[in-house]
Amino acid sequence: MSDPTDITTEEILSPAGIEEAVSLLANEVIRRCGEDKVAFVGIYTRGVTLAHRVAEVLKSRGRDYPVGTLDISLYRDDFDNLGTALPRLESSDVPFALDGTRVILFDEVIFTGRTIRAALDGLMDYGRPSKIELAVLIDRGHREIPIQPDYVGRRVETTLNHYVKVRFQEDDGKEGVFLVTEPVAETNE
Amino acid sequence: MSELKPRKDLLDIESLSLEEIEYVLENAVPFKQLFQRSVKKVPTLRGKTVLNLFYEPSTRTSSSFEVAANRMSADVTNFTVSASSIVKGESLLDTIETLQAMRSDYIVIRHKAAGVPGIVAQHTRASVLNAGDGYHAHPTQALLDAMTFREVYPDFAGRKVAIVGDILHSRVARSTSTLFHKLGIEVGVLGPGSLIPEGRHDFMTRFRTWDEVFDWGPDAVYLLRVQMERQEGQFFPSIAEYHKMYGMNSDRLVRMRELGAYLMHPGPVNRGVEVTDEAMGYEKSLISTQVENGIAVRMAVLHWLKPETQKD
Amino acid sequence: MARLFKNGVIASAGSSDLIEGDVLVGDDGTAERVGPGIEESCVQPDEVVDCTGCALVPGMFDLQVHAREPGGEHKETLATCAAAALNGGVTGMVLMPDTSPPIDTGNLVKSLQDLVSETSPIPMLASGCLTKGREGIELAGFSGMASRGVAMLTDSDRGIPCPDLLRRCMEYAKDFDLLVTSHCDTPALSKAGVVNEGRVSYQLGLPGIPAISQEIAIDRDIRVAQYTGARLHLQQISTANAVQAVACAKEAGTRVTCEVSPHHLLLSEKEVKDYNTSLKLDPPLRLPGDVEALIEGLLNDSIDAIASNHAPHTEFEKSADFASAPFGVTGLETTVLAIYDRFIKEGAFGWDLLIQKYSQAPREIVGQEFHEIEEGQTADFFVFDPKAETEITREYLKTKSPVTPFLGWTFSGEIRETVVG
C-alpha cells in the first residue's frame, strides 16, 4: 500500500479542512432533521469515526444522537473476489431500536455505491427505520448503482486511476484526505 | 490486510496456527451477535452450496452445520448415508467422484474412519470441513469449546480444564485438548485406566479420582459421552460403576460450586451415566452455550475457508 | 551365449572383502570361469560386460512373497512377481499360500509348481497352509503337500488362534520334517488394530496393535515348538522383546529361526502420518527403539533372515482410508537398494551380512543350497553399481502394484542386471 507521502499523493483536505467539512455536515443535519428522532450508524472503520465526530459537534449544540456501528463484510457482493485477503470481522452494534427512527448512515467516501448497498441490506436486517439517509465526507463520483448521498462534506473530481484516502487521527494516527494517483489493488470503499 | 494464508480445508486442530485459531474465534463473536437480531441471516454465502455428508448419524452436529450454512444464505443439501448402506473403503474414491460432480462449494463430512475427510479434501476442489472422523478429530467442536471457555474466562491462559471419561475413543478429547493446550490452558484427564491410553498427549495430567481433580482446582470440568459397549469389547464393568466412579453427582457438584468451576459436555448427554439430572441443572453449566457457539464457530469457519471451486 | 563380466569385484557371504574377479557365464548358464584377469582373447565370449566399479553379488532369496496368483492376478502374477524379483536382485523365493484358492493340498501345490515352471525363470518355492483354507480350524493335508516338497507350512498372515491346534500342527509336521511358521500375532489382542498401539495410534485416532500381540504369540509358539520339538520359523518379528525372546530360545537350543522385513529395519511408527497407507504393514511399524533392537539382532545373529513380505495390493485398493485399506506393500524391488543405502554404504555392515541374511540363511532355512559366485555353479548373481543411484518410481517398479513406502525415494546404488543360469 502506498504511503500518503508518496510523490503521487496530493493532500486535498487538511485537518482543518476536515473539521470544516464535519461542521458542514452537522449544520446540514440540524437544518434538515429538525426535531425528528435521529440515530447515526457508521460503517466500519472510518464511517464510525465520522459519525462520532458529527455527533460530537451536535452534542455541543444540544442534540444527543446515538451512534451505532455496522460491519458490512458479510453483506459484500464481492466475497469471491477478495483474493487472499481474510477479512477480520467487527461486531456490528446497533444498540437502539431502528423502527420509526430516521437513520443517517455514515461512510468516509462514496465511490461506486456498492458499499452503501451492502450497508443498506445490513441495516435493514436490524429493523425498519422510518427513513434512511446517507452522509459522506467525500463524494468522488463514478457511481455504479443509483445511490446518492444526502449529506456531503466535500465533492472531489477524480478519475478511475485515483484513490481517495481518508485518514483520521483515531484510526490511523494521522489526519487528512489524500488523492493518490497510482491505482491501488484495494477497492476504495 | 492480513498475513494469514487462505486455507481450503479444516481437517484437524494440529495443523492450525495460533493466528488462525485467533482469527476464527474472533470472527465467531460477530457471528454470534447476529443471533440477537430479528433477522439472523446474512447474505454472505448466497449462491454457494454446502453438502452435509454424514456417514454416521448425528442430528446435533449435522443440524448445527445446517443452521450455520442457512444463516449465511448458502443452499444446504443433507446427505446421510445409513449404516446399512455404508460405503466400503474401496469405493471412497468413487464417492468422491460423485461429490465432485455435485459441485458443492463446501463439504461437511462425518465418517467412522479416521482420515476420510483428508482423502476427500485431496480429491475435491470444495472446502472440506471435518465434522468428526473416527477417533481422530472434531475440529469445530474444539473451536466451539474454546470459544465457550474464553467467553467465561477472557483470561484463559493458565486456566485448567479436567476432561472426564473415554479419552481412548474420543475425537472430542483429542481435538479439544489439543486446542486448549495450544491456547495455554492446562488439561487434566480423569477416567478408568482402560480408557486413558498410554499414548495420550504428554500435556494431559492423569488423575485417578475426583478428589485428585478437585484438589488440582479445575476452572471447568468437561464430561465426555460414555458408551459401555464398543466393538472392541467392554472397557469398564457397568454403567452403575462408571457413574459411581466418574459421574457428575450431587456430592461432586458441591465441590464444583466451591471451586466455581464450569461444566461442559459435547452432547448428547447420557443422563444417569456421566451426569445426574441434578447436575444438568447446574447454574454454571455451559452446555447450551456450547450449542449456540457451535453455530457461530461453524459460520466463522465457513466464512474463513476458501474453496477452489471458482478456479475453473 | 557366453558372457564375460569383467573388471568387477565379487561379494560373498564368507567375507566382508570384495575380491577382484571376472566371471564368465557360459551358454548353459554356468559360471564357467571365476577369477581375476580372465582374458577375452582366451575365452572368446560373445559379449563382454564391463563391470568396472561394480560389485557382483550372489542373488537374493526371499522367504515371504505373496505373488497373488492364482486368484489375485489384478494385484500381481507369477510373471510380474518374477520380473520384480529380478529387478531387485532376487533370484529365488518362497510363495505364500494365501492365494485363492489357498494352497492347502498336494494337488494345489502341484498345480502351482506347474504354473511356476511355465512362467518363472527363477525358483519360486510353494508353501502350504497349516490349516484348511487358512481357517485355523482343521489341519490341512500335510502329507500330500510334503510329498510335493513344500518349502514350509504357514497360514500366511493369520496366526493359529488355538494353542492346541498349533500343537497338533507341530507334532504332525515334525514327522515330515516340515517347517512350521508363525505369523506372530495374537488376534484377540490385535483385533481391528491397524497401527502400532501408542502415540501414533492415539494421535491418528486409529485402533492400535499392541507390541504384546506379537510378543505373546512368539512366546507361545516357541514354547509349543520346544514342547513338540518341531522346527519353527517366526515371520516378520518387529519388537525389541521379540528379538530378546528369539535370542533366549536359541540359547536354549530351540530349533527356531526368524526373519525381519527391510521396512521394519528402516522405518518406525514415526513415519506413519497423513494416513499414508503405504505404511500400513502387518506387523505395524514400531518404535525407534525397536528398530535399533532389530538391527542389533541382525548383527548378532538373533535374527536369521531378511524377508521382504512382498505383499502387492493395487494402488486403488490402497487408496481407501487407512483402517479399510489392506495391510502390506511390495518389497522385492527395494530391499537390496534400501539395505545398501542405509547400512552397507554407511558402513554399518558389509555385503557379507546382507548375503548371509537375504540369500544364504533363507535358502538354508527351506533346505535349498546356497552358492557363492564360484566356478562350476549355475550363474546366480546381480551386478551392482554403487556410484549410480536409483529413484523408486512407478516406472522403475516392475510389480503390478507399485505401492511401497519408498516410492519417490532415491537410493544410492543401482542393480544393473540380474544374471540367472
CATH number at residue C116: 3.20.20.140
Number of separate domains in chain C: 2
Residues C129 and C36 in one domain: no
pLDDT at position A189: 47
Instruction: Specify if A29 maps to a domain.
Output: yes
- Whole-number mean pLDDT of chain B? 92
Q: Give first-to-last CA distance, chain B, whole Å.
A: 26
Domain range spanning residue B86?
A: 18-136+292-311
Residue of B120, B135, B206 best to disrupt the C interface, most CBs of C under 10 A: B135
pLDDT at C330 over 90: yes
pTM: 0.91
pLDDT at position C43: 86
Residues B145 and B281 in one domain: yes
Instruction: Specify if B9 maps to a domain.
Output: no
Instruction: Specify if B281 maps to a domain.
Output: yes
Strand bridging mode B233-234 / B229-230 = antiparallel
Name the residue with cell 488523492: A179
Instruction: Specify if A1 maps to a domain.
Output: no
d(CA C202, CA C199) in angstroms, rounded, equals 5
Number of separate domains in chain A: 1
Chain B hits for C207, CB-CB cut-off 8 Å, are 135, 232
CATH number for B189: 3.40.50.1370
CATH number for C48: 2.30.40.10
- Chain B segment 58-77 residues within 8 A of A by beta carbon are 72
Count, residues in chain A:
189
Question: What does the H/E/C string look like for C207-263?
Answer: CEECHHHHHHHHHHHHHHHHHHCCCEEECCCCCHHHHHHHHHHHHCCCCEEEEECHH
Residues B56 and B120 in one domain: yes
Instruction: Specify if B10 maps to a domain.
Output: no
Domain range spanning residue C43?
A: 3-56+376-390+410-420
pLDDT in tens, B48-65: 999 999 988 888 999 999
What's the average model confidence in pLDDT over B241-263? 96
d(CA C304, CA A155) in angstroms, rounded, equals 91
pLDDT in tens, C261-320: 999 999 999 999 999 999 999 999 999 999 999 999 999 999 999 999 999 999 999 998
Residues B90 and B126 in one domain: yes
pLDDT in tens, A108-140: 999 999 999 999 999 999 889 999 999 999 999
d(CA C149, CA C127) in angstroms, rounded, equals 9
Count, residues in chain C:
421
C123: amino acid identity, one letter: P
Residues C42 and C173 in one domain: no
pLDDT at position C168: 96
Residues B55 and B127 in one domain: yes
pLDDT in tens, C160-213: 999 999 999 999 999 999 999 999 999 999 999 999 999 999 999 999 999 999
pLDDT at position B55: 87
pLDDT in tens, C376-399: 999 999 999 999 999 999 999 999
User: Which pLDDT band, with edges at 50, 70 and 90, does B311 fall under?
Assistant: low
Contact between chains at B111 and C323 (C-beta distance less than 8 A): no
The residues facing C49 across adjacent strands are C5
Element holding A124 (H helix, E strand): helix A114-124
pLDDT at A3 over 60: no
What's the average model confidence in pLDDT over B5-12? 94
Residues C235 and C90 in one domain: yes
pLDDT at position A1: 47
Name the residue with cell 492446562: B186
Cell triple for residue C181?
Answer: 511358521
- Whole-number mean pLDDT of chain C? 96
Residues C416 and C298 in one domain: no
Instruction: Specify if A169 maps to a domain.
Output: no
Contact between chains at B199 and C208 (C-beta distance less than 8 A): yes
Could you tell me if B53 and B76 are in contact, meaning their C-beta atoms sit under 8 angstroms apart? Answer: no
pLDDT in tens, B121-174: 999 999 999 999 999 999 999 999 999 999 999 999 999 999 999 999 999 999
What's the average model confidence in pLDDT over C222-241? 97
Count, residues in chain B:
312
Residues C274 and C205 in one domain: yes
Residues C44 and C99 in one domain: no
Please state the ipTM of this predicted complex: 0.91
Q: Which residues of C6-21 are buried (b: 16+ CB within 10 A; e: fewer)?
A: bbbbbbbbeeeebeeb
pLDDT at B242 over 50: yes
pLDDT at B310 over 70: no
pLDDT at position B37: 85
Residues C27 and C168 in one domain: no
d(CA B30, CA B299) in angstroms, rounded, equals 10
Neighbours of chain C (3+ CB pairs under 8 A): B
CATH number for A150: 3.40.50.2020
Please report the number of interchain residue pairs, chain A to chain B, with beta-carbon separation below 8 angstroms.
Answer: 57
Please report, rounded to a whole number, the percentage of residues in chain B having pLDDT higher than 90. Answer: 78
Residues C88 and C50 in one domain: no
pLDDT at position B85: 52
DSSP state of C398: -
Domain range spanning residue A41?
A: 15-158
Could you tell me if B65 and B52 are in contact, meaning their C-beta atoms sit under 8 angstroms apart? Answer: yes
- DSSP labels for chain B? ---PPP-S-B--STT--HHHHHHHHHHHHHHHHHTTSS-----TTTT-EEEEEESS--HHHHHHHHHHHHHTT-EEEEEE--GGGPPPGGGHHHHHHHHHHHT-SEEEEEESSTTHHHHHHHH-SSEEEEEEETTTB-HHHHHHHHHHHHHH-SS-TT-EEEEES-STT-HHHHHHHHHHHHTT-EEEEES-GGGS-TTS-TTEEEESSHHHHHHH--SEEEEPP--SEETTEESSS-HHHHHHHHSB-HHHHHHHHHHT-EEE--S---BTTTB-HHHHT-TTB-HHHHHHHHHHHHHHHHHH---SGGG-
pLDDT at position A84: 64
Residues B273 and B297 in one domain: no
Instruction: Specify if B1 maps to a domain.
Output: no
Within 13 Å and on the Cβ side, how many CA atoms surround B236? 22
Sign, CA dihedral C102-C108-C110-C111, equals: negative
What's the average model confidence in pLDDT over C361-386? 97
Residues C52 and C113 in one domain: no
What's the average model confidence in pLDDT over B258-265? 97
| B88 near A CB under 8 A | no
Chain A hits for B31, CB-CB cut-off 8 Å, are 89
User: Which pLDDT band, with edges at 50, 70 and 90, does A88 fall under?
Assistant: confident
Number of separate domains in chain B: 2
Residues B249 and B123 in one domain: no
CA–CA min distance A167, chain B (Å): 16
Rg (CA), chain A: 16
In Å, how far are A117, B178, B287 from B290, measured between CA atoms?
A: 34, 18, 5
Contact between chains at A121 and B43 (C-beta distance less than 8 A): yes
Number of Cβ within a 10 Å radius of residue C74 = 14
Could you tell me if A67 and A41 are in contact, meaning their C-beta atoms sit under 8 angstroms apart? Answer: yes
Residues C186 and C247 in one domain: yes
What's the average model confidence in pLDDT over C131-153? 96
Residues C348 and C233 in one domain: yes
Query: Which regions of chain A does DSSP assign to beta strands (E)?
Result: 9-13, 38-43, 67-70, 102-110, 131-139, 151-155, 163-167, 176-180
Instruction: Specify if A36 maps to a domain.
Output: yes
CA-based nearest residue to B43, from B72, B9, B85: B72
User: Which pLDDT band, with edges at 50, 70 and 90, does B83 fall under?
Assistant: low
Ramachandran angles phi, psi of C381, nearest 5°: -160, 170
pLDDT at A166 over 70: yes
Residues with Cβ within 8 Å of residue B137, at least 6 apart in sequence? B11, B12, B13, B114, B130, B171, B174, B175, C205
Residues B206 and B123 in one domain: no
d(CA C208, CA B232) in angstroms, rounded, equals 11
Residues B143 and B280 in one domain: yes
Could you tell me if B189 and B163 are in contact, meaning their C-beta atoms sit under 8 angstroms apart? Answer: yes
Ramachandran angles phi, psi of B9, nearest 5°: -125, 155
Cell triple for residue B86?
Answer: 455404508
Residues C101 and C37 in one domain: no
- Whole-number mean pLDDT of chain A? 89
d(CA C38, CA C40) in angstroms, rounded, equals 6
CA–CA min distance A124, chain B (Å): 9
CA B302 to chain centre: 15
Residues B238 and B271 in one domain: yes
Residue of B26, B29, B42, B105 best to disrupt the A interface, most CBs of A under 10 A: B42
Number of Cβ within a 10 Å radius of residue C288 = 12
DSSP state of A13: E
